Amino acid sequence: MRRHPFVPNLLLPIDADRVRATQSGGEMTGPAETTAMQRAIALAASVLGTTNPNPAVGAVVLGPSGDVVGVGATEPVGGRHAEVVALADAGARARGGTLVVTLEPCRHTGRTGPCTDAVLAAGIARVIFAAPDPSPAAGGGGAILRERGIDVTAGLLAEPARALMQPWLTSVERGRPHITWKYAATLDGRTAAADGTSRWITGAAARTDAHRERSLVDAVLVGVGTVLADDPSLTVRDHPATRQPVRVVADSAARTPSTARILDRSAPTVIAVTAAAPTERLDALRACGAEVIVVPATDNGVDPVALVSLMFAREVHSVLLEGGARLAASFVRCLVDRVVGYHAPMLLGAGAPVVAPLDRESIDAALRLQLDDVVRLDDDVKIVARIGAGEEA
């Protein structure tokens, strides 16, 4: 199994005592249930990026004797939830068995019916889920199942399951998209040379991995400076993808050229401008197929908080920020959840920095991140970190 971007240590041995200490309700779980949850997490990982705006969930059905009789993962939006897929796979063999699932079964009717109804209809005797559903409409399915006489256990491998669903959980718990800031730089933190050249800082393996990161999100966001300097496509090309993310450009004055590759209609494109943008430029962008949205302005251009709020209202629940130093600084100060840095073994000594000043003038004031993973990609190194709870950018 390949490494997973949100659960890099998924395959490490599980501490059984720690697992039992974090569970609540129901009977204690054993090796069969723990192994089933590991498989459910792997199933969820296999569909990450294909289910948005729904969470990527995995489910395993164990028969009464403890053998695996059904498996499933969330289908693309409008399709079945993981529990329904696994129960259909199990068929009559599910009766009297155990459903192991990474997220609490939902109790509401949205694009599909309640998973709790499917569980009851299948004759399941026991449900084990990793993480509770925090959404007001869908959460509480476990309590409904208990009321109907089903044994319910919560918390089995909750930590890796929550890590896997972190983008979706952020959108539910914070009411905004989960934002990953991605950059490529030299060892001395330069994203371009003094003459402006920047292709290619990292090698092919790192670039392929960056495309994989793109494939997981709903939208890719850059500033107009990146469009003018690099003319990127911002599409997923070097990694399999079931859809292309929306391309979003923060462009307060509508300076995006009509010839820019992000206007090639190969993926949806949104240009975020301010009220000061010239009307004729807006008309030209719309004529190229772009959607233009007007966003409140700050001293530095488009207001990042207002922009992500508008994106969230359009069911954009995860964003990959690929902009330059100024845009990165404006987001890191208040919005970034996760940082992915690709570092190449080269030195420039001058050129564009990774991020503009953050107004933190001492080591004590530095924004400290929690390191999640370090991966070697041929000659380059990928570093994954997140802003920890309680940290304010």
Residue 91 Rama label (left phi>0; alpha psi -120 to 50; beta):
left
Handedness of CA 366, 372, 374, 375 (dihedral sign): negative
pLDDT of residue 11: 42
Domain with 306, as residue range(s), is: 176-387
Q: Yes or no: say if 73 and 165 are a contact pair by the CB < 8 Å rule.
A: no
Amino acid at 344: A
Please identify, among 125, 142, 170, the residue that sits at the C-terminal boundary of a domain: 170
End-to-end CA, the chain = 35
pLDDT of residue 27: 60
Handedness of CA 294, 297, 301, 306 (dihedral sign): negative
Number of domains observed in the structure of the chain: 2
Other C-beta atoms lying within 10 Å of the C-beta of residue 12: 9
Please identify, among 170, 201, 222, the residue that sits at the C-terminal boundary of a domain: 170
Residue 392 covered by a domain: no
pLDDT of residue 84: 97
Nearby residues of 362 by Cβ (< 8 Å), 6 or more positions away: none
Residue 315 covered by a domain: yes
Domain co-membership, 54 together with 182: no
291 is known as an active-site residue:
no
Q: Could you tell me the pTM of the whole model? A: 0.86
Active site residue: 27, 33, 75, 83, which one? Answer: 83
pLDDT of residue 2: 46
* One pLDDT digit (tens) per residue for the chain, 393 residues: 345 555 544 444 444 444 444 456 656 678 999 999 999 999 999 999 899 888 999 999 999 999 999 999 999 988 999 999 999 999 999 999 999 999 999 997 777 789 999 999 999 999 999 999 998 888 899 999 999 999 999 999 999 999 999 999 999 999 999 999 999 999 999 998 888 777 789 999 999 999 999 999 999 999 999 999 889 999 999 888 888 999 999 999 999 999 999 999 999 999 999 999 999 999 999 999 999 999 999 988 899 999 999 999 999 999 999 988 899 998 987 899 999 999 999 999 998 999 988 888 788 888 889 999 999 999 999 999 998 654 444
Please name which of 346, 328, 348 lies closest in space to residue 336, comparing C-alpha atoms.
328
Domain co-membership, 252 together with 331: yes
Taking the C-alpha atoms of residue 5 and residue 37, their distance in angstroms, rounded to an integer, is 19
Domain co-membership, 224 together with 117: no
CATH number at residue 121: 3.40.140.10
Please identify, among 170, 185, 204, the residue that sits at the C-terminal boundary of a domain: 170
Q: Per DSSP, what are the bridge partners of residue 178? A: 318
